[in-house]
Structure 1
Amino acid sequence: MEATTDHRPGAGAAAHPEAVIERAEVRFTVLTPRLIRLEWSASTVFRDSRTQIVVHRALEVPRFRIVEDEHALEIDTGALRLRYEKGSGRFTEANLAIRIRRGDADLAWKPGDIQKANLGGTYRTLDRYDGDTWQDGSKLPIEEGLIARDGWHVVDDTEGFGIDDEGWVLERPAGERQDLYFFGYGHDYRGALADFAAIAGPQPIPPRFVFGYWWSRYWNYTDEELRTLGARFEKERIPLDVLVLDMDWHTTPGLSLRPGHEHKDVFGEQSGWTGYTFNRSLFPDPEAFMRWAHGQHLRVTLNLHPASGVLPHEEQYDAMAKALSWDTSTRAAIPFEGTSQPYMRALFDTVLHPLEKVGVDFWWLDWQQWPESKAHPGLSNTWWLNHAFFTEMQRDGDRRGLIYHRWGGLGNHRYPIGFSGDSVISWDSLAFQPHFTAMASNVLYGYWSHDIGGHTFHKHIPRPERHLEPELYARWMQLGVFSPVLRTHSAKEASLHKEPWHFGPPYGDAIFAAIRLRYQLAPYIYGAARHAYDTGLSIVRPMYYHWPEHEEAYEHPAQYMFGNDILVAPVTAPVGEDGAASFPVWLPPGLWYSRDGAESFEGGQMIERHYTLEEIPIFVRPGSVVPLYPEGLRNLASVPDALILQVFPGDEGATELYDDDGESQGYQRGDFARTSVRSRRGDRAQRVHIDAMRGHYQGRPSSRSYIVELLDAGIPESVEVNGVPLPYSEPPAPQTWLFDTASLCIRVDLGSVSLDEPQDIVARFTPEHTMPIGLLHRMRRAGIAVDYLKQVWGDISALPDDVDLAGQAARVLAYAVEEGDDEGRAERFMAAVLAFEARFEGLPASVDATPIDESFKRAFANLLGR
């Protein structure tokens, strides 16, 4: 069922009366068959308003049965059976018990039970953590998640602050009380997260540009330096969507005045971090700079540390003071208090909104000061600032809310995205981040943004020895491709460069390829963001969501699902002498394909392969249809009118393409469109059916160019669209097909077609022309292995001719396909395939017979996959 949102303030906060069972000082609310709210109030006063965690209780009332006598009350939902001893007061192990029905064995819970196997949530920051270890040796204190192998979880909202109809903080109710939400789900983790999303709100879809590449560096950039940087991105044809300016964009008088004359904030701290006025020595004309950035289709975010209030040197100090009736005669700082509605209203209206009119698109909040509100002890400043800034942005027209700040606790999933802080540059940090990111989905926090490449070096590394390993950075960028957000960042060190062109081959090549792949995957990622909104399942999620009964799904936390169809196991170890990293992966049960469809794997087992720097262990479900943008995209400001549909081998598969305007809140109101795509493959034919687009939104196109790629399909006898045979032709001719020997796929170019009409593509085969399984993998491995020999062995003249021919198999196959008439194409292709297979089989023996060093021979065999 798709998520829906009622935009009326406070709408849906109270449950339907039919779901509520109230008896004296207790109240039970059946929210879903697996979720019951338990309240006890000594004053018999119960809370129906929104809270920090729960914002919606008016769910469809599930079926349940009540059995009651003068002693006890029982509620049976079919999935849960609750029993409470009437008139016995506060919930305890003596008066309340809940039984969770499971197919194999029931589970029981009572108040006070200790959860033994919580699967973890997330934590506020990775600042100064080397992997999961801080500089003093302590471990990252991960908060509890919403799911556990115990099969139940309790969310205690007793101490949560309320939120009024204007979105402002309410004090906690007075008096003795309990307010608990009991989730009983067994191992149906996806069901538990869906139930939480139903009451705590869905994960909003960020604006589309968020899923592009972000450039960020802690550096006192000037206007001219940023323009030069942008020109280099343009020259190198590297796509870019977001430009992040760290704190040096503003003046910091506390750091510039001589000792004894520094400004102090109201708590006596030097105000070196807080600022709202552009530093004119860096940005002589901020408006002109912003016009340039937006002219480059860049979105701009500025760093804020608001703790020191508004100081008298700020350009908007007098306007802020006037809004608050603040006495300016002393030129004292206006103190910060985030829960003061007058203060925040004045800050937004007189300070921040004017900067937004200049061109700031959203704010990077960087709260590093005291943890709790001074006016509301117990209220996290991080949580509250996320709420206040995000909801303020949503009030401004129809823009989607967006902030960039740390995790503040349950309920903060409604305010994406997260900034994980200043992690240590190390292989350990890289290895930990896949686990950390996937685990956060257990609290619906699906949009962590990490400092790709790490932020700072370990304090024990002497400054002259501090350098970023190119291989480490390349692998981190590959992780970034399959992360919620791809953002590079680093500390203010002159030697710490992460510009892609700073790295030579092969590392620069791998970094460029990673960025290009990210943009190609944008439609798949954006569709996964919609799925997260609808279901509560984040883009990056642990494997145990899908395979909860398999122990291996818990034992390999650095592997994860990326959307519904792709499994990723980022390489987090350096390559060996042969230029490849041996890396183990657990594949869940069933058949899996490599990302290019070149190789199939039977799951339910560990596999260990050697991955070169250019390779990432990515596996795709059989039959999957993965939408891609064509290469060459420069940004996500607007979507291209062409879409590639990669269809993986498999008997059947399906997907839904998702489209909306990319920036408004209309997607919450039904302003979006979907297009169903189905594939079916048999021995003699493969069919792909693209439905007509369903739905409407502002800017919806009437037509689209489709390119359908049938991966690892073999060479067909014919291809037809809507019953009409297509001619074989090289691009760019539309309404044609060709066989790409470099990727062994059938590429069907439909040209521009109406989105209101379905399209039916059929490729027909002759069984004797079926390609050998894994052919493309062997071709590519042969190329890699032969190239390795040429790099490490000076004299290759003794190599047999078959070695060089095997290394350029795609070109040899291309000549076989292109030469001669159409009628004999399949026969020529198959003859060339059989010749390659014979060469490949003989490669180890051919190399063994040469005087090459034995270590080179072993490396060659490893690269071949032998």
Structure 2
Amino acid sequence: MMVVLILWISALTATAFGSTLQADPSSIVYEGQARFTILSTRLIRLEWSPTKEFLDGKTWLVQSRQIQPTPPVYNVTRNDTHLRIDTNYVTLEYLRNSATTFSQHNIRVTVKVNPSKGETVVWNAIPNEEFDGNLLGTLRTLDGNRDSKLELDCRNQPRNDLHCTYGVISRRGYALVDDTHQPQLDDDPQWPWIVNKQYSPPDPSLCQAVPVNERRTCGTFNNTNQHDCELRGCCFQSPSSCFYSSQAQQDLYLFGHGRAYPQALYEFTRLAGSIPLPPRYIFGVFFSRYWAYAEYEERQIITEYIQHDVPLDVLVTDMDWHITFYKLASNDTKDQAGQTIGWSGYTFDEHLFPSHQKFLQWCKQLGLKNTLNLHPASGIQPWEEKYKEMAEAMGIDPSTKHYVPFNVTDKKFTSAWANIVLHALQQAGIDLWWLDWQQGEEGWMNDIPYTNPTFW
């Protein structure tokens, strides 16, 4: 089962963002339909737009484009054919007046991997070459992975539901992060929210103009369907090839840090936002088992930990804390959301927990933290304790018994879900949430490219 721990829903509003979103104007270089931003002497933003319109707002990834106190030192030269930008570590060369998006024919970036030895490496938009030597990123979950070797190289990972990503450090000497058409955030200072923005598929002639061996991957590598590919504004070729057209918008971040891995990670946090330090108890001892424990059984388990002088910091209660309808589920009965009935839930099963408030407070007196399992995909079903309040908050007549659909990209729904449902359980004594696998991968995202419920 997937383990994603959410430390209070209010943490969504408290993300540490960079202090200055816009790059310093003195660090920006324009050339034709391209824009280059020298964020540091090792980190360069590369943009191309057929309309010369560029993105300055927040994205899912980027929270600040001033990552150091003073603008980096660099030098710009131009001749009849090329623009050249030099820093102490990176040299960028671009074909002036180029009429097509970045490709091996118009851009070249040379990175000093080991300046003292003169070792360099070149990126020039050859498809997928930037992934060779990458020290890899992460996956959405380990759920369903039965392979003896977990594949983290996204080119070889067959499952598209894992949302495989690469990292920002590489043995090759550089890493490329593609932020093109990734989800954007609005400018709400209290709670920046995802913008429902979609893109039109390119003219087929612009796709045909890109030779097969020059097609740069748009988004994930495997099993991309035509609908998702075209939502990104990219070209699709059956069965699952998704690539950029000759006039594709581009928004790339080149981390040219050579072997300076700590510096690359530091600059990434300046770009993407500071990472909050988890509370100390998160690094402690958890008790968790997928079992329908009753309250008295959990009291007995905790007492045995104390009696045997074994440390315990967090008590995890799996999904049986709420109403489950196992008999109906065993007959493959579905709820209104089309999910297995009883898999989602927000109402304590009183047969197992006759007084959950007292139990949770007893745990607190012992210094324990409590977390509950959540499978949110079913939304709020009519049997839930908070159904009436949620239905009214979302404009649904409670007498219809129509469920409240789960849509975490809907700010109205998420605010109501947090304030009416989750906060009530937190006030009863829940300290954090275990966000499990079933989060509604399909349908809820309003077709916003690249979104998925776990990361959002």
Are residue 125 (structure 1) and residue 141 (structure 2) matched? Answer: yes
**Do the aligned residues in 1 keep the contact of 2:139 with 2:165 (CA within 8 Å)?**
yes
Are residue 382 (structure 1) and residue 453 (structure 2) matched? Answer: yes
Q: Specify which of 19, 25, 28 is matched with residue 27 of structure 2.
A: 19
Shift in Å, 1:330: 2.0
Match of 1:108 in 2: 122
Residues 89-238 of structure 1: pairs in structure 2 closer than 5 A: 89=99, 90-101=101-112, 102-103=114-115, 104=117, 105-113=119-127, 114-115=129-130, 116-130=132-146, 132-133=148-149, 143-165=165-187, 166-172=191-197, 174=199, 176-238=248-310
Letter in 2 for 1:124: R
Shift in Å, 1:131: 6.0
**Do the aligned residues in 1 keep the contact of 2:140 with 2:454 (CA within 8 Å)?**
no
Q: 1:351–1:258: structure 2 CA closer, same or farther, 3 Å change rule?
A: closer
Match of 2:391 in 1: 321
**Do the aligned residues in 2 keep the contact of 1:265 with 1:309 (CA within 8 Å)?**
no
Q: 1:81–1:276: structure 2 CA closer, same or farther, 3 Å change rule?
A: same
Q: Specify which of 356, 359, 364 is matched with residue 426 of structure 2.
A: 356
Residues 403-442 of structure 1: pairs in structure 2 closer than 5 A: none
Could you say what secondary structure the match of 2:426 adopts? helix
Shift in Å, 1:59: 2.0
Q: 1:237–1:18: structure 2 CA closer, same or farther, 3 Å change rule?
A: same
Could you say what secondary structure the match of 1:193 adopts? helix
Q: Write the distance in 1 (CA, Å) between the matches of 2:198 and 2:58.
A: 12
Match of 1:294 in 2: 364
Shift in Å, 1:50: 1.4
Shift in Å, 1:343: 1.1
**Do the aligned residues in 2 keep the contact of 1:16 with 1:59 (CA within 8 Å)?**
no
**Do the aligned residues in 1 keep the contact of 2:193 with 2:411 (CA within 8 Å)?**
yes
Q: 1:171–1:333: structure 2 CA closer, same or farther, 3 Å change rule?
A: closer
Match of 2:347 in 1: 277
Match of 2:5 in 1: none
Shift in Å, 1:45: 1.4
Which consecutive residues of structure 2, in runs of 5 or more, have no partner in the other structure? 1-13, 151-155, 159-163, 201-247
**Do the aligned residues in 2 keep the contact of 1:37 with 1:181 (CA within 8 Å)?**
yes
Q: 1:261–1:269: structure 2 CA closer, same or farther, 3 Å change rule?
A: closer
Deviations 1:241-274 (A, max 9, x none): 1111110000123x344988956132x3332310
Q: Write the distance in 2 (CA, Å) between the matches of 1:336 and 1:321.
A: 12
**Do the aligned residues in 2 keep the contact of 1:303 with 1:366 (CA within 8 Å)?**
yes
Structure (1 or 2) with the greater strand fraction = 1
Shift in Å, 1:363: 0.6
Match of 1:66 in 2: 76
Letter in 1 for 2:109: I
Match of 2:230 in 1: none
Q: Write the distance in 1 (CA, Å) between the matches of 2:16 and 2:140.
A: 31
Are residue 48 (structure 1) and residue 73 (structure 2) matched? Answer: no
Deviations 1:383-423 (A, max 9, x none): 44xx4xxxxxxxxxxxxxxxxxxxxxxxxxxxxxxxxxxxx
**Do the aligned residues in 2 keep the contact of 1:52 with 1:163 (CA within 8 Å)?**
yes
Q: Write the distance in 2 (CA, Å) between the matches of 1:146 and 1:333.
A: 42
**Do the aligned residues in 1 keep the contact of 2:360 with 2:428 (CA within 8 Å)?**
yes
Shift in Å, 1:376: 2.7
Deviations 1:86-130 (A, max 9, x none): 210321111111111233222222012513222222222222445
Letter in 2 for 1:155: V
Q: Write the distance in 1 (CA, Å) between the matches of 2:103 and 2:149.
A: 38
**Do the aligned residues in 1 keep the contact of 2:372 with 2:433 (CA within 8 Å)?**
yes
Q: Write the distance in 2 (CA, Å) between the matches of 1:187 and 1:147.
A: 8
Could you say what secondary structure the match of 1:154 adopts? strand
Q: Write the distance in 2 (CA, Å) between the matches of 1:10 and 1:244.
A: 34
State the structure with bigger RCO (CA 8 A, min sep 6), 1 or 2.
2
Give the RMSD, CA atoms, in angstroms: 2.5
Letter in 2 for 1:343: F
Q: 1:237–1:258: structure 2 CA closer, same or farther, 3 Å change rule?
A: closer
**Do the aligned residues in 1 keep the contact of 2:17 with 2:64 (CA within 8 Å)?**
no
The two structures have a TM-score, normalised by structure 2, of 0.76
Could you say what secondary structure the match of 2:413 adopts? helix
Q: Specify which of 345, 352, 374 is matched with residue 304 of structure 1.
A: 374
Q: How many residues align?
A: 374
Could you say what secondary structure the match of 1:382 adopts? coil
Deviations 1:423-464 (A, max 9, x none): xxxxxxxxxxxxxxxxxxxxxxxxxxxxxxxxxxxxxxxxxx
Q: Write the distance in 1 (CA, Å) between the matches of 2:16 and 2:367.
A: 33
Q: Write the distance in 2 (CA, Å) between the matches of 1:10 and 1:55.
A: 5
**Do the aligned residues in 2 keep the contact of 1:312 with 1:331 (CA within 8 Å)?**
yes
Deviations 1:159-189 (A, max 9, x none): 3111123321114475741000111122222
**Do the aligned residues in 1 keep the contact of 2:439 with 2:453 (CA within 8 Å)?**
no
Q: 1:92–1:229: structure 2 CA closer, same or farther, 3 Å change rule?
A: same
Match of 2:209 in 1: none
Letter in 1 for 2:45: R
Structure (1 or 2) with the greater helix fraction = 1
Shift in Å, 1:197: 1.8
Residues 605-754 of structure 1: pairs in structure 2 closer than 5 A: none
Letter in 2 for 1:39: E
Shift in Å, 1:7: 7.2
Q: Write the distance in 2 (CA, Å) between the matches of 1:259 and 1:174.
A: 42
**Do the aligned residues in 2 keep the contact of 1:59 with 1:198 (CA within 8 Å)?**
yes
Could you say what secondary structure the match of 1:269 adopts? coil
Shift in Å, 1:18: 1.6
**Do the aligned residues in 2 keep the contact of 1:247 with 1:304 (CA within 8 Å)?**
yes
Q: Write the distance in 1 (CA, Å) between the matches of 2:254 and 2:25.
A: 19
Q: Write the distance in 2 (CA, Å) between the matches of 1:65 and 1:215.
A: 57
Match of 2:412 in 1: 342
**Do the aligned residues in 2 keep the contact of 1:215 with 1:243 (CA within 8 Å)?**
yes
Q: Write the distance in 1 (CA, Å) between the matches of 2:331 and 2:318.
A: 27
**Do the aligned residues in 1 keep the contact of 2:376 with 2:439 (CA within 8 Å)?**
no
Residues 571-582 of structure 1: pairs in structure 2 closer than 5 A: none
Q: Write the distance in 1 (CA, Å) between the matches of 2:332 and 2:183.
A: 40
Q: Write the distance in 2 (CA, Å) between the matches of 1:260 and 1:118.
A: 47
Deviations 1:507-539 (A, max 9, x none): xxxxxxxxxxxxxxxxxxxxxxxxxxxxxxxxx
Could you say what secondary structure the match of 2:453 adopts? helix
Could you say what secondary structure the match of 2:399 adopts? coil
Are residue 77 (structure 1) and residue 148 (structure 2) matched? Answer: no
**Do the aligned residues in 1 keep the contact of 2:329 with 2:340 (CA within 8 Å)?**
no
Shift in Å, 1:158: 0.3
Match of 1:466 in 2: none
Q: 1:167–1:149: structure 2 CA closer, same or farther, 3 Å change rule?
A: same
**Do the aligned residues in 2 keep the contact of 1:10 with 1:164 (CA within 8 Å)?**
no
Q: Write the distance in 2 (CA, Å) between the matches of 1:140 and 1:197.
A: 26
**Do the aligned residues in 2 keep the contact of 1:307 with 1:367 (CA within 8 Å)?**
no
Letter in 1 for 2:81: H
Shift in Å, 1:195: 2.0
Shift in Å, 1:337: 1.2
Letter in 2 for 1:323: A
Q: 1:152–1:371: structure 2 CA closer, same or farther, 3 Å change rule?
A: same
Deviations 1:832-860 (A, max 9, x none): xxxxxxxxxxxxxxxxxxxxxxxxxxxxx
Q: Percent identity?
A: 38
